[in-house]
Amino acid sequence: MDVRDLVVPIDFSECSRVAMERAHALASRYGARVHLLHAVSPLPYPPEFGYGTQILEDLEERARRLLARAARELRGRGADVAEHLVVGPAVEAIVRLATDVDAQLVVMGTHGHSGVKQLFLGSVAARTLRVAPCPVWTCRGTDATHAEPVQRVLVPTDFSAHAGHALDVAISLCADLGAELDLIHVYHSPLPLFAEIPTRAQLERGYRDAAERKLAEAAERVRRGDVHGAATFRTGPPAAEIADCAAQHGSDLVVLGTRGHRGLRRAFLGSVAEHVLRSAPCSVLTVTHDPSGEGDTRGRHR
């Protein structure tokens, strides 16, 4: 991957520290700049409630001090860091900054504080992955987890162009990090369980044969990238099977395309990506792809 600028939204929670740790590891590997971002949410009350501008100014000042402390910590470990403090909704701030600095990656936690301190993480992570102009790495685990190298990556595929783009990014990432890459395809029948039509078994057998051929082709693509790993075919609800496979393989990261086809080929990508984000036992990297070539191309492999 070509990574020069990382955007790291933080709310000073433990999850923020986890994201900072992963961002530092990636920045060290790629020589990238880390853009620490904190968005102070405007108070959701009209002036007559007694919440004046002084409270917001106090919040901004406290956030500025905490942001500067976080930046000093990373600089003390050799990172190139820029600080960004804004007032406004978190998702808008993340997207704007990622666009302005032409970021190749957003690195964020999956939970955080709510209330007066803007909730960056959790629901904001899900909204960010829908609209971010670059891949989004959502972190799970502890500081220690993310100080360790990524050793095993799981890539679900539905054989769409979007999944293929995510696979290319994953191959490049694994080659850079010396990690193994495991492929998984999950078949979830669109037919209800009671629909025991005579041709059902024949249809599903034909699907499996075709899917296994495509899975073998994808595995060969991985090998051509000089990356090692395995390929798995499963049946069942896609998000649950992906999460279970990640747990069984001890995956450090799941790489997902964010769109896919529907119909007989069950979409992993799109709404399922959000389910994986919530249920995966490890971090998740979501990669968008615009077939027109006009959208996100910053996650592309070199």
pLDDT at 258 over 60: yes
Name the domain boundary from 145, 178, 199. Answer: 145
Residue entry with tokens 């959790």: 122
pTM: 0.84
89 and 213 belong to one structural domain: no
| pLDDT of amino acid 127 | 81
Amino acid at 218: A
| pLDDT of amino acid 22 | 94
| pLDDT of amino acid 268 | 42
* Percent of the chain predicted with pLDDT > 70: 78
| pLDDT of amino acid 36 | 98
Specify the CATH number for the domain of residue 31: 3.40.50.620
Beta strands 136-139; 283-287: pairing state:
antiparallel
pLDDT average, residue stretch 205-225: 93
| pLDDT of amino acid 217 | 96
Confidence of residue 128 (pLDDT cuts 50, 70, 90): confident
Domain that holds residue 255: 149-287
Q: Is residue 78 part of a domain?
A: yes
263 and 189 belong to one structural domain: yes
Domains in the chain, number? 2
Q: Is residue 302 part of a domain?
A: no
Confidence of residue 124 (pLDDT cuts 50, 70, 90): confident
DSSP 7-28: EEE--SSHHHHHHHHHHHHHHH
Q: Is residue 36 part of a domain?
A: yes
The better pLDDT of the pair 213, 119 is held by 213
pLDDT average, residue stretch 213-239: 95
The better pLDDT of the pair 118, 179 is held by 179
How does the average pLDDT of the chain come out, rounded? 83
Name the domain boundary from 119, 145, 171. Answer: 145
Side by side, the strands of the sheet bearing 152-156 are 80-87, 33-40, 5-9, 105-109, 136-139, 283-287, 253-257, 152-156, 180-187, 231-235
The better pLDDT of the pair 264, 114 is held by 114
167 and 244 belong to one structural domain: yes
Confidence of residue 290 (pLDDT cuts 50, 70, 90): low
* Percent of the chain predicted with pLDDT > 90: 59
* CB neighbours of residue 185 within 10 Å: 26
Which range is least confidently modeled, 100-104, 141-145, 204-208?
A: 141-145
159 and 132 belong to one structural domain: no
| pLDDT of amino acid 272 | 79
| pLDDT of amino acid 279 | 87
**Spatial separation of the C-alpha atoms in residues 100 and 91, rounded to whole Å:** 14
